[in-house]
Amino acid sequence: MNVITFCYLISLVVSEKLNMQLMDVVTAYLYGDLDTEIYMKVPDELSLPKSSGSRPRSAFAIRLKRSLYGLKQSGRMWYTRLSDYLIGRGYVNNELCPCVFIKTTSSRFAIVAVYVDDMNIIGTLDELRDTAECLKSEFEMKDLGKTRFCLGLELEHRDSGILIHQSAYTQKILRRLIWIRRITGIISITPYSQNPSDVLVGFADAGYLSDPHKGCSQSGYVFTMGNTAISWRSTKQLSSLLLPTMLRLLRFMKRFVNAYG
């Protein structure tokens, strides 16, 4: 799950008046089953069998049956285990957003948004309770209550909506740069207020030669939901728009010189 998806889900929670709960999987990577043979050196704490004789410890290796932290395959194996379990319990997801699982019934739905070992559960209070029990029956989980921090964003739950900001991260950076005493009032905030409009709207525009010195244009876009921006970007084009014009001018001047000396 990326920040854009997370911001969209926050907007959905506010517009539909749902609840969001954060749960943490204890030692998530240890739940993954390996699909390949992986061997490792024998740890010093593990005694060799008596049949090993006088052979050195380096002559032996042990085969892993479960994934461990530090293996390149651990993240994929954990996701596969979790995905198989949720899909088996009626949840669905797709390739566009593989870390978001949705379960729907005739009258309600529940969403599980996964980021490594953190799970944001979205729905009514009854749906949150049922989903939490479903997860606890298979994995050891910690219930962290309402989502207040995820993906570097801090969430403040208010009666009027949800306020997100990065004040802790900003202050940490400022302290590192010894600027905190000089700079105040620059911590950006994004309010997600209750609004009947839950339509996703996109805007895109480009400015011709916004950088006249380098002959480059600027293009950008912003997507909003409930009148709050959830994704945006502004980019300067790498190629110069003046280059084709200059080449045509040089070709014209060359032909003019050849014709009239």
> Which of the 8 DSSP states describes residue 80?
H
pLDDT for position 185: 47
Q: Which two tokens stand for residue 245?
A: 């014009």
Rounded CA separation 85/99 (Å): 13
- Tell me how far apart the alpha carbons of residues 218 and 131 are, in angstroms, rounded to a whole number: 45
| Contact between 61 and 39 (Cβ < 8 Å) | yes
Pairing outcome for strands 118-123 and 109-115? antiparallel
Computed over every residue of the chain, the mean pLDDT equals: 80
> Which parts of the chain sit beneath pLDDT 70?
176-198, 208-215, 238-250, 252-254, 256-261
CATH of 3-38+70-147, one of 3.30.920, 3.30.110, 3.30.70, 1.25.40: 3.30.70
Distance CA 149, CA 117 (A): 14
Whether this model's pTM surpasses 0.95: no
The domain limits of the chain are 3-38+70-147, 200-260
pLDDT in tens, 135-149: 999 999 999 989 898
**pLDDT at residue 189, as a whole number:** 55
**In which region does residue 17 sit, left (phi positive, over 0), alpha (psi from -120 to 50) or beta (all else)?**
left
**Residue 183's CB: how many other CB atoms inside 10 A?**
11
- What does the pLDDT read at residue 120? 93
Q: What is the pLDDT of residues 44-103, one digit of tens each?
A: 877 877 777 778 878 888 888 888 888 888 889 999 999 999 999 999 988 888 899 999
pLDDT of 209 reads 61
